[in-house]
Chain A
Amino acid sequence: MRAPPLLALRGVSKRFGAIQALCDVELEIHGGEVIALVGDNGAGKSTLVKVIAGVSPADSGVIEWQGRIVQVRRPHDAQALGIATVYQDLALCDNLDVVGNLFLGREIHRVGVLDEVEMERRAVELLHTLSIRIPNIRLPVASLSGGQRQAVAISRSLLGVPKLLLLDEPTASLGIEQTSQVLDLIDHLRDRGLGVLLISHNMGDVKAVADRVAVLRLGRNNGFFDVNTTSQEQVISSITGATDNAGRTRMGRTGEAWL
């Protein structure tokens, strides 16, 4: 019998005016597990992340954290539970160095005076434990590669020692080499017992790093798959809404085109 999931969503719904963005969505994430959240544009992936992160709370439904029912009404609530979010636009300050970005908004200080030495020591320690290679952490992040910037953004979210990490398209703008660096990092986080919810468009990434795939389609669950036993085609047809056979895939596509 497994421990209760780190995070469980039960019947989460969210409506923006006339649009039903999420409808009775279910999701479970355990510690040490990477769940990929996939779906077409407008399927509700980002909305779901915002619900979990407390940015825009759900209208109805239950959120359970380690088996307890909790309220996530504000970003602060999510952070207090141990949920960290890395958004697609990394929200780094290009002119600040790596240390400055890691500690932005939670600087170590004594009566307002920054303790640079301590911050740098902890930054090195953190990057070291994550096996992140950045040649000089005193460089402005503007001079880092995309992958390194993503690594900094993820490390930054890990400073608060979260239990669950939400990653919104972390590899969207990266090259092959850099993508593999970020995927390595995600692997590493799983090994450390974190739960990771990974939003991705890239089936290759999903296949490479996720344990399970949760598919959203038009705001509803459209299947959960085990990555090891499911073919990429099955996942894709679930995303596009055609689950059974080629004939229905084509019908689904045609139907979609007419929407």
Chain B
Amino acid sequence: MRKETFRNTEPGRTAGGPEARAPAAAGRRLLVRRGDVGRAVDEFRRRLRDGELGSLPVVLGLALIWIIFEILNENFLSPRNLSNLSVDIVGTGLIAVGIVFVLLIGEIDLSVGSVSGLAAAMFAVLNVHQGMPEWLAVIVAVLCGTTVGAVHGFFFARVGVPSFVVTLAGLLGWNGLMLYVLGESGTISIDDQGLVAKLTSHYFSDAAVAYGLAVLGTAAFFLAAYRDSLRRRAGGMESRSLGRLGFRTGALAVIALAAAYVLNQFQGLPLALLIFLLVVVGLDYLLRRTRYGRQVFALGGGVEAARRAGINVVLVRISVFMVSGTMAAIGGLFLASRITSASQTSGSGILLMNAIAAAVIGGTSLFGGRGTTWSALLGMLVIQSIASAMALMGVQAAVQFMITGGVLLLAVVIDSLSRRSQEAHGRA
């Protein structure tokens, strides 16, 4: 009965009398009357006002720097350069995906660089020196990262040491362990025909693979969104119109097919990029659509609220650091794969900074509670584009660092401003 009344309030096709409509539904009707474009504009205005820009600034920024770099150097947007770019982002990008998880609960993990180096060293020593089969060495190296993350998580969540300090200790300690593991040898070359080397050297040279996956991915997106929209309509709720759905699907199709076209101009779809995309999509689903993901976001939004809602705060915190450690280890293997070796400099230098910067530039908030795994991909594209363009133009690293630093500062400023704006609007 109640359901029936409720259906009657459905926007657009109301059959029941006006008295059946609740004020709430009436309010929503007004919104619904507006056309698709009007609604999109409204939504955009609200997000602008509330400081919920998400990935928009970075997408615009990326488009802008690509145009600038292409004007400065015509090789920048060449298939070869873009293809290399798409492989270069993967190692650090995977690490940044782990960072996103930690940032979402409002914490930081400074150890990811060292952990990635440790995983690479573990793999190289086990495989090359100890003769362990590659697949097993990979598993051990990745689990090593997971364990390290669990240790960080334990000290942070259970003992109560600030994550900054725990992972700072990790940064030093795990780097030390890596040097210890590598021992006298210093640099260990890994089999350049092996499994790990293939991670970044394998390309699907058949053009059909890239196009096929682009079409498949777009179709999957459309079907999932369409099914959702049908269910919402069946439940009598507002849903995105087919027009908007079509627009989004179309935009995705254009991007996916263009990427496939460009990649096919060079050597085809890189395996590394495919894995990266699968990880980003998979973990995005985990964060946005599962109970676990909801708990992670809840922790970022209010620890006390999460605790009162019955969420096991300690467990979720530890798990987040485990994800971060695991992704750092996987990223480390991709970085080792790219240079087919593990050395004393693995995981050092600006790797850590780049991983954190990527997540933040991509739109994940440093203050917790807002972000997506896609920001790792987008942020890395920005950072690597700058690096790649500078290399093409023969500009020295000094300038590159300064530019990347400026972009990072800009990203953090946007983050802080949107947070301030949210606070201003949050409490009336």
Contacts and interface: CB of A to CB of B under 8 A. Distances in A.
B297 A91 contact: no
Contact of A135 (B28, B302, B368, B427): B28
Given A100-B294, A135-B27, A125 B228 contact: no
Contact of A109 (B291, B304, B369): B291
Given A92-B302, A143-B50, A114 B291 contact: yes
A95 B369 contact: yes
A128 B24 contact: yes
5 contacts: A93-B298, A94-B302, A95-B369, A120-B235, A142-B426
Contacts of B428: 145-147, 175, 178
A23 interface: no
B400 interface: no
Interface residues of B, number: 46
Contacts of A40: none
B27 A105 contact: no
Interface string B389-428: 0000000000000000000000000000000001101111
A105 B309 contact: yes
Given A128-B24, A143-B425, A112 B290 contact: yes
Nearest to B299: A93
Given A92-B302, A95-B300, A146 B24 contact: no
B305 A129 contact: no
> In the complex, which of the residues A90, A112, A128, A145 has the most CB atoms of chain B within 10 Å of its own CB atom?
A128
Given A91-B305, A145-B428, 18 more contacts: A91-B302, A91-B308, A92-B302, A93-B298, A93-B305, A94-B369, A94-B422, A95-B301, A95-B369, A96-B298, A101-B305, A106-B309, A106-B310, A113-B290, A129-B2, A135-B27, A140-B422, A147-B428
Given A92-B305, A104-B298, A112 B292 contact: yes
B278 interface: no
Interface string A14-43: 000000000000000000000000000000
A105 B237 contact: no
Interface in B357-387: 368-370
B22 A131 contact: yes
A117 interface: yes
Given A104-B306, A133-B27, A93 B291 contact: no
Contact of B291 (A95, A107, A132): A107
B24 A133 contact: yes
Contacts of A236: none
Interface of A: 87, 89-96, 100-101, 104-107, 109, 112-114, 116-118, 120-121, 124-125, 127-129, 131-136, 139-140, 142-147, 175, 178
A106 to B, nearest CB: 8
Q: Which 4 A-B pairs have the closest CB atoms?
A: A93-B301, A105-B309, A95-B369, A95-B301
A132 B28 CA distance: 13
Contacts of B292: 112
B232 interface: yes
A145 B298 CA distance: 20
A128 B368 CA distance: 32
A117 B235 contact: yes
Interface string B1-14: 01100100100000
A121 B237 contact: yes
A50 B426 CA distance: 29
Contacts of B24: 124, 127-128, 131-134
Given A94-B302, A143-B425, A131 B294 contact: no
B131 interface: no
A128 B235 contact: no
B291 A142 contact: no
Contacts of A107: 291, 294
Given A117-B232, A124-B237, A125-B2, A105 B426 contact: no
Given A93-B297, A95-B297, A104-B294, A121 B235 contact: yes
A93 B300 CA distance: 8
Nearest to B311: A105
A145 B425 CA distance: 8
